[in-house]
Structure 1
Amino acid sequence: MTLTFNRETYAIAVPIQMQYNVTSRGVGARQCRAPTGVPHVNDNCYSLLAKSQPKVIKTDEENEQAIALAQELSHRVNRTLEESALLDLLVTLIEKYQDEHYPIEESTAHSMLLHLIDAQSVKEPELVAILGSREVVSQVMSGKQEITQEMAKVLANFFHVDTSLFEN
């Protein structure tokens, strides 16, 4: 069965039938129930769906809201199957939005070296000691010289990482 929120349609694992109480004052509270033959499902799920109204994320604000709800669900101790399904849907929607709006560029050996130097607060004299000369360090740091296989081995050993991080 599918649900449609804000013109977006999502498949859900639990079919729902919505009923409305119509009174002289208008439409009353919604009631959710499983169709005949389908076991009863936690009503908490329906209030969660109504609250979250999962949809394709189109703005940073919607992304932040989805992240907040996903974090809330992921830290819930006794998460129900329905809450787990909603969490999976939210994670998929968040990943889609972030892949489209914040693509991660492929790293290069040079960018990886610069990151490791910054992250570990490595100073130039330390690099000179392992690479051999100030000129080589300057050339490698500026990107004017490629990192050789021998340099990759020495750098990987120094930073305690795999040599493949320094391969282009």
Structure 2
Amino acid sequence: MNVKLIKTETDYQNALSRLEVIFDAKSGTPESDEADILGLLIDEYEKKHYPITSPDPIEAIKIRMEEMQLKQTDLIEAIGGKSRVSEVLSRKRKLTVGMIRSLTTKLNLSASLLIGEY
């Protein structure tokens, strides 16, 4: 087992290639231990160099609407009126506290996700 820290993009690509080879190693073998260690190293490198940011509130609403197969009209009760839903989703109107409360319940999204800037 020749595991080393991932410091460069080349190291990262090499680690991914090696992990692909040993990914299905039998548990308890040196290759399995190497795969576990490589997985941790790759994860840390990706967190630092390829961070995944949360979507902005409007994007989060749109994603959840798609997941739940909802239309804009399905948000009228939570947001208040067809034109208001359209204005919010097109970023022409900010979400109010009342809208955020309703949307957290209707769409099962966290309030902290919906209070972000956009």
1:144 partner SS: coil
What is the CA deviation profile of residues 130-151 of structure 1, one whole-angstrom value per residue up to 9, with x for unaligned ones? 2111121111101222222211
Q: For structure 2, list consecutive stretches of 5 or more residues without a partner in the other structure.
A: none
Q: Give the match for residue 23 of structure 1.
A: none
Is residue 68 from structure 1 mapped to residue 62 from structure 2 by the alignment?
no
Contact 1:70 1:91 in 2 (8 A): no
How do 1:38-77 and structure 2 match up within 5 A?
A: 56-58=11-13, 63=16, 65-66=17-18, 68-69=20-21, 71-73=23-25, 76=26
Q: TM-score, normalised by structure 1?
A: 0.53
Question: Which stretches in structure 1 are left out of the alignment for 5+ residues?
Answer: 4-8, 12-54
1:81-120 equivalence runs, <5 A: 82-99=30-47, 102-120=50-68
Q: 1:72 to 1:160 in 2, by over 3 A?
A: same
1:128 equivalent in alignment to 2:76: yes
Is this contact kept in 1: 2:22–2:32, CA < 8 A?
Answer: no
What is the identity, as a one-letter code, of the residue corresponding to 1:72? D
Percent same amino acid among aligned pairs? 21
Q: In the TM superposition, what whole-angstrom CA distance separates every residue of 1:40-60 from its partner, at most 9, and x where no partner exists? A: xxxxxxxxxxxxxxx82237x
Instruction: Say which of 99, 102, 107 aligns to 1:151.
Output: 99
The answer on whether the counterparts of 1:152 and 1:163 sit within 8 Å (CA) in structure 2 is yes
- Does 1 or 2 have the higher relative contact order (CA < 8 Å, sep 6+)? 2
What is the TM-score normalised by the length of structure 2?
A: 0.71
RMSD: 3.0
